[in-house]
Amino acid sequence: MRYTWLLLLFFSFPALAEIYRWVDESGNVVFTDEPHPQAEKIEVSPSTVYTPDDSIRAPEPDQPPLTLSPEPDSSDEDNEAPATSYELRIIAPSGDESIWSNNGDLTVSMIVEPALDAEQGHKILLQLDGEAVSEPRASTTFQLNNLSRGTHTLDAMIVDDNGNTFASSPVISFQLHRTSIQNNTGLTPPGPTGGRPSPNPGAN
């Protein structure tokens, strides 16, 4: 430790300066840049100045590989068209309407909002008294024939080819009336048969 300050002094000399080493009367080793009769000249190598290069970097310690969460595949979502929200109502006949039809024929009309999506195969299934009247059709008008007299119910739904239901109408009821032949008063009852007509009392 006694030479520590001498070493600091040694390294504090300017680069390429002549350094001399000698021992004083007390036995201390002295370094100086001034000549001394008993001094020994020390050859000092020129100092090297290091300039760090930003392009060369020390390798970083091993790190676990960065794991990226896979992005959701949106192709399936793009292929699935959003389900259409419909409003379906039967407008003819109206609820609790009394209808006279001698042949039992009836036209059923509906309103669909928005219009049926034909590309998705959406169609209307009409039911009379809980039974389908025909195969589903892309039409808002159905013709029913030869209905029996009495009270009936109607309801409709929008379906696709796979049987999925997208909307249903309220159920309505109506009364169908048909003229009975027994109540037909337009027929002329048959006249009396046999015998001669009664004589005219005013005739001679």
Q: Which residue has the tokens 């027929």?
A: 187
DSSP string computed for 121-169: T-EEEEEETTEESSS-BS-SEEEE-SPPSEEEEEEEEEE-TT--EEEEP
> Residue 63 is encoded by which pair of tokens?
């790190």
Tens digits of residue pLDDT in 29-81? 777 777 777 777 777 666 555 566 655 565 566 666 666 666 656 555 555 55
Q: Which one, of 53, 50, 49, 30, lies nearest residue 40 by Cα?
A: 30
Looking at residue 194, what is its pLDDT? Answer: 43
In a domain, 99, yes or no: yes
In a domain, 150, yes or no: yes
Least confident of 2-11, 55-64, 161-170: 2-11
In a domain, 76, yes or no: no
Looking at residue 42, what is its pLDDT? Answer: 72
In a domain, 63, yes or no: no
In a domain, 75, yes or no: no
Q: Are both 98 and 170 inside the same structural domain?
A: yes
Alpha-carbon torsion 131, 133, 139, 141, what sign?
negative
In a domain, 196, yes or no: no
Higher pLDDT, 187 or 49: 49
Least confident of 69-83, 99-113, 134-148: 69-83
What is the number of structural domains in the chain?
A: 2
> Which range of residues forms the domain containing residue 133?
87-180
Helix%, strand%, coil% for the chain, nearest 5: 10, 30, 60
Q: Are both 37 and 96 inside the same structural domain?
A: no
DSSP assigned state of 72: P
Host H or E run for residue 4: helix 4-11
pTM: 0.51
Do 104 and 178 touch, CB atoms closer than 8 A?
yes
Q: Are both 172 and 92 inside the same structural domain?
A: yes
Q: Does residue 2 surpass a pLDDT of 70?
A: no
Q: Are both 107 and 163 inside the same structural domain?
A: yes
